[in-house]
A and B are shown apart, each in its own frame.
Chain A
Amino acid sequence: MAALGTFLLLASFVVCSYAAVASVIGARRGSRSLVESGTGAFHLVAALMTCASAVMINAFLTDDFTIKYVAHYSDRVQPLFYKITSYWGGLDGSVMFWVFLLSIFGSAAVYVNRERHRELIPYIVATISAVQMFFLYLMVVHKNPFTTFVTAAPAEGEGLNPLLQNYWMAIHPPSLYTGFVGMTIPFAFGIAALITGHLDDSWLRAVRRWTMVSWLFLSFGLTLGMIWAYEELGWGGYWVWDPVENAGLLPWFTATAFLHSVMVQERRSMLRVWNVTLVIVTFFLTIFGTFMTRSGVVQSVHAFGEDRQLAWLFTIFMIVILVFSFGLVIHRLPLLKARNELDSWLSREAAFLVNNWILLLSAFLVLFGTMFPTLSEALTGERLTVAGPFFNKWLVPIGLILLALTGVGPLLAWRRATVRNLADQLLLPALGGALALGAVLALRIPIWSAGLCFGLCGFVTATVAQEFWRGARVRRRNTGTDYFTALVGLVGRNKRRYGGYIVHVGIVLIFFGFAGNARKLDNQVTLKPGADVKIGRYTVRNDGIKVSDDGQKQMTTAYLSVFVDGQQIDGMYPARWAYRHHEQEPTTEVAIRRTAAEDLYLVLAGFDLGDQSAILELHVNPLVNWIWFGFGVMALGTGIALLPERSFAFALAKLPAEAAATTSIALVLALTFFGGATTVRAQRGMGGSEDTRSSFYARTPFEKQMQHEIVCTCGACGHQNLAECRKDACSTSHQMRGELAALIDQGKSHDEIIQAFMNKYGSQEMLGAPLDSGFNRLAWLVPYAAGAAGAVMIGFAAMRWSKRPETAAADPAPARDPALEDRLDDELRDLD
């Protein structure tokens, strides 16, 4: 199977290069058939990558530990769900998953736009193919996920890291990748438009929706990462400006900027160079973020491996991207001239421009702070780091300015706003802000920065409410319906604008949640049984510690009672779990009591079974849940903005993006209300616990040869051979090297030593040649194929139905919902 996988990757690379070359030559020669064959090859890459992914997942499901990657990230006892998610659990697989997603996205984008942007297609195909070729090359020559063991296949894999066996962690990377990968599509359109010179605004309209989908997934991925950190890592927070987090945030800033400035170009034909630049920069930052986290350039407490060769490959690729893209931009500058000038600084355009600058400044600052250690080392030789305080000092005020702009922007008129008009518009929002500020003062919340943030939240909410109210009033007057129908009709008529406003409400809620940090309480105590501690309005009492065992792990649970005003309101049970073979690495299971106002977050940091005392870390995190809820609102708004221009709710099945939006809302809601401190875990491989320092470096060539022939069985190192397995604190390889040295000292021969190891370890675990698993494993593919076919059929059916709403088959509640009916009437009337 591994050979099949490698072959598929190689084939993808070859087909991909053909697609790139054929479509470019076809476009230049005006040969339609050549372009079509290039496009066909491009779709073939998607098919090949799908097959390769199926082979990989099949390998995980059948525990094919002959493949190094599978052995490294899975084991037999791992639950099915995590076996599948292990596909993207490591570097090699994540690169492959990246190419898979890109090929699917690319195919979809090319298919959707095949008629509308015929002249751009060949170059879009070529650009995406070039990006795919880079990643395929990376895999084929350097990081092949299908590499098998040369010497021996282990009988058991090492298993996915327990910390990563968390529901949120399983869906966080695909979401983030989808966001990252999706940014390639606008880039490809931009490059194609630059090459062909078709630089009117039509390519922008084509990519706007793709960018929005990618942006949504990126936001979703970032949120999931925060939730994971909050629930699993047990330090009471969700964001620490770690390089890995920052890598995801960078393209988010520029994509957000693009989604705003694109409106200026559509309306006023300004900022045309700027928009192309933003698209390029966003794509560049996705590659740069990948580079940063995978190559070891930036030191992080996340243990990303250092990999010089990978770093070089990425560097070359990034230089090519920059030179090529900006070369094209400069080449096309005459065509990109703005057709209008900024009329006034008091206008919507100007507000968008300032918003863009600030977002870009944020991206720059985050990039600067993240790269600062590397920069300072290169310049001065001293490795200096900047930490949270630097980021907070800069990004808190910047965030507040952005929030303020969110409120002011929609009030400004295009071209030129008059002061009088603005004052009129500002009245209500300012009142909202003042009210919020009054509440802040009454609650004695410090004005900087939380108080100001709350005030601005009030201001922006009032702005959005006013926009909705005014729009609905006008519409009611024009159509003669009630307010609610008018409101729904309003949103339906201008989905992008009002969807955008809903996104702003989501942002306000997220900021609201951030501001809660100001009232955060922390404490660390040792509690004897019966003793209690006060934090905020809560009193927490230790009722004792109990140890239980479920066969897989030993669980030490603190039984805590929570009181408010002398009344017991809850029992909370933070725990530490020690898995079999991992007794020295207990995991922390936090207990969180969620309410809309605040979370009580308890961590069992340590315990003494002798006197039943518990060492507790207590946090009260106000308003945290509003961050997650705000994301849900944001997703809802994006979903509305993504709805097709003309069709309405029944066309939902047409676009996968809306389905995604709905799903994420459901997920976020589910999380907000049901999320608990429970996690699913599985065992990992064997561990060692011997304390030794020296490491038996080979003394003779023979010993060296033997060390290379035998692989380590510890389960931590990815079954490296004994000579190589040194970087981890691996006692097993140390011990095995010792045994080898002893056997050599006894004068044993090659075969005798092998035999001795086989006898000792009871199998050929460290020796056997990869087993030929045979094609019967293809049978595993059948259910997936059936599932995929079903999904395709449903998709087709849904598309069909959504095209003919009058058949009413796709309407989830046909003629039952008077509001929807009215809304439809409304819509139809407006279409006339």
Chain B
Amino acid sequence: MTHRNIKIGATAAVLTLAFVGLMWSTLRGGTEYFKHVDEVMVDPQAWHGKQLQLHGYVVPGSILKKPNTLEYKFKVQNNPARAPEAGNVVEASYTGVVPDTFKGEAEVVLKGRLTPDGFHTDPNGVMAKCPSKYEAAGKSAASGT
């Protein structure tokens, strides 16, 4: 009986260790910080080069697109566009196709890295809030495009 218990115990220990080790390694590579603009812009240097998910709102009228390309430049602020204060603002750049819901005032989450000249968004890294069944979508506003 004890022999059997030792066997089971050892197997369980090895499996647990392997599991924890694998978990650790995948988490290290896979995690991204989820930050609001204000949290990052307090000390931008500290965040340079780190993989981020940046939450904010597109500054109305700030979306610029180079004609005949898919290059975008826009600004993202911490607070909703109609809040009394805008909060910190960060410049962002992106190349690629943007979702339909991406426009001025849209609530967005950007995946990418912060650099001294603004936030570089990864390919397909723009997530604009989807209209959901459970809350009416934010109404449109002036769009930069």
Q: Which residues of A contact B (CB under 8 A)?
A: 72, 89-91, 94, 158, 161, 163-164, 173, 233-235, 294, 299, 301-305, 372-373, 376, 382-387, 389-390, 393-394, 524, 526, 582, 584-588, 603, 605-606, 608, 613, 615, 617, 687-695, 697, 714, 716-718, 726-732, 734
Contact = CB atoms under 8 A, between A and B. Distances in A.
Contacts, number: 162
A717 B138 CA distance: 9
Given A173-B133, A301-B109, A608-B67, A716 B138 contact: yes
B83 interface: yes
Given A584-B103, A689-B141, A729-B139, A608 B68 contact: yes
Nearest to B61: A691
A691 B139 CA distance: 11
B127 interface: yes
Residue among B53, B101, B130, B139 facing the most chain A CB atoms (10 A cut-off) = B139
B30 A390 contact: yes
A602 B139 CA distance: 27
Interface in B115-136: 124, 127-136
Nearest to B53: A385
Contacts of A582: 140
A728 B140 CA distance: 10
Nearest to B101: A585
A376 B128 CA distance: 23
B33 A729 contact: no
Interface string B29-66: 11111110000000000000000010000001100000
Residue among B53, B103, B141 facing the most chain A CB atoms (10 A cut-off) = B141
A62 to B, nearest CB: 22
Closest 3 CB pairs between A and B? A390-B30, A605-B97, A584-B140
A384 B31 contact: yes
B21 interface: no
A718 B136 CA distance: 8
A731 B100 contact: no
Contact of A524 (B27, B70, B135, B143): B70
A729 B138 contact: yes
23 contacts: A72-B136, A161-B131, A161-B137, A163-B131, A164-B131, A301-B109, A301-B127, A301-B128, A303-B131, A303-B134, A303-B135, A372-B31, A384-B33, A386-B32, A387-B32, A390-B27, A526-B68, A605-B98, A615-B70, A691-B60, A694-B84, A695-B83, A728-B138
Contacts of B60: 691
B142 A617 contact: no
Contacts of A90: 133-134
B81 interface: yes
A270 B26 CA distance: 35
B63 to A, nearest CB: 12
B9 interface: no
A161 B129 CA distance: 14
A729 B136 contact: no
Contacts of B101: 585
A634 B87 CA distance: 52
B3 interface: no
Given A390-B26, A695-B83, 10 more contacts: A164-B131, A233-B130, A382-B33, A384-B32, A384-B34, A526-B70, A584-B140, A608-B67, A693-B81, A726-B82
Nearest to A293: B134
Contacts of B86: 693
A235 B31 contact: no
Contacts of B138: 716, 728-729
Nearest to A240: B127
B81 A526 contact: no
Nearest to A717: B136
B140 A692 contact: no
Given A524-B97, A526-B69, A615-B70, A687 B136 contact: no
